[in-house]
Structure 1
């Protein structure tokens, strides 16, 4: 049995009420970590906490409503979670939105473009900024950002999302350089292709991915990668944006 090293560690997850964030919360709790989740919807937060506590009755699990792109809202949620958990060792930024999909550049409204950057980029930045004072005091501290293969490749009609996830990849590099040497904090990101989450289903306009002719990951598969990068067993891994795209980025255009 592999020991990932999370027993009695304190973990904060943004976007922890659904999708990859919720799956990661389940896995961390299963590894005997203490878990705090943040989500924008009080209703979804309550539902997620019930599910987590039912599945992990022995685990310490707390949650607070917060908007990752609102500094004061996040400060309040982070402060409360750290007080409840008794410290902070790992942060996972999973909060994100897809924004308008399918629109050409001249059809994308400026306010919609900015909203995607606000949540996906500013939200990631604030998650780091507001938790750093606590993480500096943590054990084997890490940030793991949830990016996307859309930060490396592009598809028509995804301009705002592509731009935001490209920024997350560079933010990962910059933070890994800035935080590792003085504070011992590792920063990495997981960058999947399509994952079967409510956001993906809504963005793709489907009720299910069953029978599609392209690969789709489960939230649990991507959450496992999150835990793998955050584990102290991965101490040498820093500044990495781990693509989880079934090898599509490695394919040549040569018609072979």
Structure 2
């Protein structure tokens, strides 16, 4: 399958590292002009340099700013008023017991993980519909189905993303704009590596080995029995952004290694 996104502009939020960066790279390799986003100018510049190093012909620009802030979202939209592909990847996670999660954390997780994507989808979807082509993807998680007991506030936001993506897909019916959610399982991103750093240092094992042990202990239904790579997740995202995925919309597409123990 040859995915050709030449002439398309793609915005990937939270794309200076992890799944977001792998997605930006995959879209760029497919010919899209990619807008890389991170909270700081330094992180954006580093990501652009890394992207250009690994794929010298990449068409990419950067936008630095915290998209949790509505004013920053407005600035982004004014700077880049039209995109063809929007990947709402920006997100945070943090293990914390339910009884230790204050109201402020619930609000913060909702603002970052859900509302940022809602704002940008609202800003860009009408233009996509006018051009009769567009792709909106919310990066949710298997945690939106299997709510993790150690991160209930995170799981709640991922369930919300599934609701928003399904509802918006129906709202965009007949426009040529598809809206989907991609559900990664445990993925060996920089964030997960940082979460496991103490165990990695203590055990002397590789990040891959420690992550596999975490999966077996805490996501025991995993069929692959390991963490996915960011590239494995990005492959699904790039596909659902492609012209070839035109009949896929309103879907929750799992790249969870089989963690969710259901047939459908």
Q: In the alignment, is residue 132 of structure 1 matched against residue 143 of structure 2?
A: no
1:110-121 maps to which residues of 2 (within 5 A)? 110-121=103-114
Q: TM-score, normalised by structure 1?
A: 0.89
Kept after mapping to 2: 8 A contact 1:191/1:242:
yes
Q: Tell me the secondary structure at the aligned position of residue 148 of structure 2.
A: coil
* 1:97 paired residue number: 92
* 1:75 paired residue number: 74
Kept after mapping to 1: 8 A contact 2:185/2:259:
no
Kept after mapping to 2: 8 A contact 1:151/1:163:
yes
* Whole-Å separation in 2 of the counterparts to 1:137 and 1:32: 22
Q: Tell me the secondary structure at the aligned position of residue 220 of structure 1.
A: helix
Kept after mapping to 2: 8 A contact 1:88/1:138:
no
Q: CA deviation at 1:136?
A: 2.8
Kept after mapping to 2: 8 A contact 1:176/1:188:
yes
Kept after mapping to 2: 8 A contact 1:5/1:233:
no
Q: TM-score, normalised by structure 2?
A: 0.86
Q: In the alignment, is residue 244 of structure 1 matched against residue 236 of structure 2?
A: no
Kept after mapping to 2: 8 A contact 1:191/1:243:
yes
Kept after mapping to 2: 8 A contact 1:135/1:141:
yes
Q: Please, what is the CA RMSD of the aligned residues?
A: 1.9
Aligned length: 244
Structure 2 unaligned segments of length 5 or more: list them: 201-205, 216-225
Q: CA deviation at 1:197?
A: 1.2
* 1:28 paired residue number: 27
* Whole-Å separation in 2 of the counterparts to 1:22 and 1:47: 11
Q: Tell me the secondary structure at the aligned position of residue 188 of structure 1.
A: strand
Residue of 197, 209, 232 corresponding to 2:243: 232
Kept after mapping to 2: 8 A contact 1:140/1:232:
no
* 2:234 paired residue number: 223
Q: Tell me the secondary structure at the aligned position of residue 57 of structure 1.
A: coil
Kept after mapping to 2: 8 A contact 1:190/1:244:
yes
Q: CA deviation at 1:251?
A: 5.8
Q: CA deviation at 1:47?
A: 0.3
* 2:221 paired residue number: none
Kept after mapping to 2: 8 A contact 1:209/1:216:
no
Q: CA deviation at 1:167?
A: 0.3
Kept after mapping to 1: 8 A contact 2:132/2:176:
no
Structure 1 unaligned segments of length 5 or more: list them: none
Q: In the alignment, is residue 150 of structure 1 matched against residue 137 of structure 2?
A: no
* 2:220 paired residue number: none
